[in-house]
Amino acid sequence: MSVYNPLLLRLLRVRSRAVLRLGRKVTTWSPVGAAFNAQAVRRPELFNKNVGLFGVPELSSTEGFEVVQKRALQETEQLVEKACSTPPGAVTVETFDKLSDSLCRVADLADFIKVAHPDPQYREAAEKTCINIGTTVEKLNTNVELCKSLKDLLDNKELMAKLDPETRRVAELFMFDFEISGIHLDKKQRKEAVNLNVQLLDLNNQFLMGCHMPNRIDKKALPKHIHQHFTNEGSYIQIGGLHADAPDDLVREIAYRIFLYPNEEMMGTLEELLSCRNKLAKLVGYESFAHRALKGTMAKNPDTVMNFLQLLTDKLKDRTEKDFEMMKDMKTKFNPRNPAVMPWDHPYLSGVIRAERFNIEPSLYSPYFSLGACMEGLNSLFTQLFGVSLLSEQPSAGEVWNEDVRKLAVVHETEGLMGYIYCDFFYRPDKPHQDCHFTIRGGRLLDDGQYQLPVVVLMLNLPSPTRSAPTLLTPAMMENLFHEMGHAMHSMLGRTRYQHVTGTRCATDFAEVPSILMEYFAADYRVINQFARHYQTGQPLPQSMVARLCESKKVCGAADTQLQIFYAILDQVYHGKPQSRSTTDILMDMQQKYYGLPYVPNTAWQLRFSHLIGYGAKYYSYLMSRAVASMVWRQCFHKDPLNRENGERYRREMLAHGGGKEPMLMVEGKFTFRSETLSHSAGRHNKDMHLSHSSHTLEICHLVLEAVPCSGVIQDIQGHDHLDLNIIDGVIYYLFRWSQDLRIGN
C-alpha cells in the first residue's frame, strides 16, 4: 500500500510545474493539467515487466481471466463453508462481505474490460468470465444453507442489537438479495430462478451491444450534398448516432429516421428481455419487475414513481408548452415552410435559443476549457472542499488497456492515498459512445486494519490532443466531465467498512446525487473563474461570458425536464404489468401523452434506450437525484461553493456512507430545506421544511408551487421569462415526497 508524505506533497505542488509552449505564447500548467493537455507518450516497454491490467499480474494475457476466475471460485467455496459453519455474529456479515468482494473484484473488472478493451480476445475472455461469475452469484443467492446462516443472525434480536448500524444494514441488504432472488421457493423453482437470471445476463449483453450498433443505407437513397456528414462505407452510408447538433434540418431528420429504424432482431431481444424480467419477478413473488426493482429504493414502489411523474407533468404542462412554442418560433425563422417542431429538433433548437439570447457559441468557449484546465479546476475544487488532490501517475507496463489512458492517484492532505482513478477519456473505434463510471475494486476495511483502496475508471469520448493544441471541451463536455468525476469522488471518499456498500453501491435513486451536484459546481461562475483560461494566452474566461453561460442553462428547462419524464414513464410502463401490444405501440402512446412532440412512424427509439439495462424501472432516478442534489447545493454550497466546512459536512454526512446508510435518513437527517430557499415571496422565511411522511408535506408542496410564479420566473437579458432550473428541482423534490404521502394514505 502506497503512503504519501503530506509535506512532500505540498512541496511537489509548488516545485513541479509544466510549461506548454504553443506558438509564441507560454501557458503554465500544473502536473495534472499538463498530463491531460499533452499527447500520451508511449514509453519503451521492452525491458519493463508487464504488471497486468490494473496491476493484476495474471491479466498480462487473456488466459489470466481463467486463472483469476478459478481462484475467486475457490475462495468462494471456502467462504461459503465458513459462513455456514460459524456461529452467528458480526463475523457472519464480515464473511459474506469477503465473499462478495472476492467475486466482485473479478466480475467488475471483467465487466469493464468486455466493453472497453480494444483487443477482441480480451473482450471475449472477459465476457466469459462475467457470465461464469454471474451464474455463480445467482446460485449463491438461492443457496438455502447460506441464507440460513444469515437468517440465524437476523432472527437473533440480542445479537443484532450488539451490531453497529452499518453492519446491521449490510446484513439486511444481503438478506434482501436472497429474498428478491427467490430463496423462499422450492428447489425446482429456485433452479428456474437461476436459469432466468442467467438468461437475463445474456439478453442484457445482446441488447447493450445492439444499442450502439450503427445502421447502414445505400448512398443512392440519400442526397449527395449530405453524404459528407456521415461515415462513407463503400456504396453505403453508415449512421451511428442522431447528429442532434447538426444545423441542417435534413441531416438531423435523416439521422433520426435511419439510426432509429426498427431492427427485428433487436426488437425480439427487447421483448424477450422484458418478458424474462417479468417472469422472474412473478416467480419470486412480485406483482411486476418494477415492484421488484424498486423495493430497495427511496421510492419503494411503482405507484409512488408514477404519482410523482404524473404530478410533475401536470405542474410543468403550461411551461413546457411555452418552451415548445419558443422552439416553433425559432424553427419558423429557419424554415417557414415547415415550422412544425419534431423530435430531432428539440436538442438543436434549445441550443440555438440559448445561443441567440445569450450569445453562446461553443467554439468561443472551448479555448478556455482545455481538458488540462478543467482537470486543474477539479483538482482545485476537491482540494478546497475536501483537502484532496489529484496526482498524475505514469502507469506501469501492461497496466492500462490503451496508451492514452491516464492514471490519477487521489491523495488526502492528512489521510494519505484514497484510491485510483483511471481516465479513459479519448475516442477510439469500438469504444462505447456513452460516458460511464466503472467500479473496478470497491473499498473495504481489511482484517489487518488497512483499507482496501477503491479503483474506478471514468470513460468519456473526447477528441484526442494534437501536437499543436490540447483537447478543447465544449461547455456540455465540461459539464459531463464534472458529472462523471462526481461519481468517481463518491467512490474515492466513501469509507465504508464493507465492500457491499462501497461508494456508488447504494440505492439507484440516490447514486446520481453526487454526480448531478457536480453539475451545479460546473455552472457556478465562482468555480469556473478558478480554472477557465485560454490555452494559448492564459487569459481567464471573461465574467460576462461565464454569466451568460450559466443563465443560458435555464432556457427550455421545462421541455428538457418533460423529455426526461417521458423516458422515465416509458421505462415504468415497460416494466409494469405486461401488455398485449408491441414496445413500439407503447412508445407511441406514451410519447403522445407525456412528451409534447409527435412519434415518427417507422422509428423505434426504445431499441437505443441502453438505460433499460442498468436502470430498468429506475430511470426516474435522474429526476429524483437532481432534486436531492439541488437541496444539498442550496443547503451547503449556494452561498459559497468553495466552503471547506460544508465540503467536509457533505463528505461526512453523505459521501462517506456509500450505501451503508438508508438514503432517506441522510437526506432528511442533515439536509433539510428551509422555506426561504424556495419561497422567498411566500413570507415564511423562518419555517423549516421538514421532509417527513405526513400531511405537512402536502402543505409544503403547495407552498413551493405557489412560489414558482414569483421566484421561479426570472427575466433574462432580453426580457424573456423562463423557469429557473433550481426551482424545477425544488418542485421535483416536494412532488416526490407528496406522491409518497398520497401512496401511504396521509
Catalytic residues: 484
Whether the Cβ atoms of residue 496 and residue 97 lie closer than 8 Å to each other:
no
Please state the φ and ψ torsions of residue 335, each to the nearest 5 degrees. -140, 75
User: Going by C-beta distance under 8 Å and a sequence separation of 6 or more, which residues neighbour residue 709?
Assistant: none
Whether the Cβ atoms of residue 302 and residue 565 lie closer than 8 Å to each other:
no
Any idea which residue has 446460485 for its cell?
A: 139
Any idea which residue has 467455496 for its cell?
A: 77
Any idea which residue has 483502496 for its cell?
A: 453
Please state the φ and ψ torsions of residue 535, each to the nearest 5 degrees. -65, -20
Integer Cα distance of 199 and 189 in angstroms:
15
Radius of gyration of the chain (CA): 26
Integer Cα distance of 418 and 541 in angstroms:
32
CA distances from 374 to 33, 180, 308, 640 (A): 8, 43, 36, 20
Using a 10 angstrom Cβ sphere, with 0-12 exposed, 13-18 middle and 19 or more buried, the burial of residue 60 is middle
- 412 has which bridge partners? 388, 416
Closest listed residue to residue 319, CA positions, set 160, 498, 96, 554: 554
List the beta strands (DSSP E) in 268-321: none
Integer Cα distance of 483 and 516 in angstroms:
6
Please state the φ and ψ torsions of residue 44, each to the nearest 5 degrees. -60, 130
Whether the Cβ atoms of residue 451 and residue 415 lie closer than 8 Å to each other:
no
The x, y and z cell numbers of residue 7, run together, are 509535506
- 713 has which bridge partners? 723
The x, y and z cell numbers of residue 380, run together, are 482545485
The x, y and z cell numbers of residue 316, run together, are 410543468
Question: What count of residues does the chain have?
Answer: 746
At residue 443, the 3 state secondary structure works out as coil
